[in-house]
Structure 1
């Protein structure tokens, strides 16, 4: 699948934000046909006292 690299990148970025807490941002994803879709994805991982992500509020806009 051509967009596997983008899926892996986005997944890794989200997992990192969930580990450390704080901001997540993404501005593009590759589609199945190989073209890019430009987006504005902003979120924030909120951690509990034990350091586990308990919320991930955010917004996704197609730009």
Structure 2
């Protein structure tokens, strides 16, 4: 019984670490998109790159719609 508790604790810690890495990666991706859009791309509003309308227009440009 003690070994099973130890295994569940290990799995829980690893799952928590994985979720933390995914969350930090997502935050860094958003920050990189905002910095790239506002500084390199000469965008007016850094938050505009996170809007669904902007992504829809980007997908439309790349797919030829």
TM-score of the two chains, using structure 2 as the length reference: 0.40
Greater Rg over alpha carbons, structure: 2
Q: Which has the bigger relative contact order, CA under 8 A and spacing at least 6?
A: 1
Which of the pair is proportionally richer in helix? 2
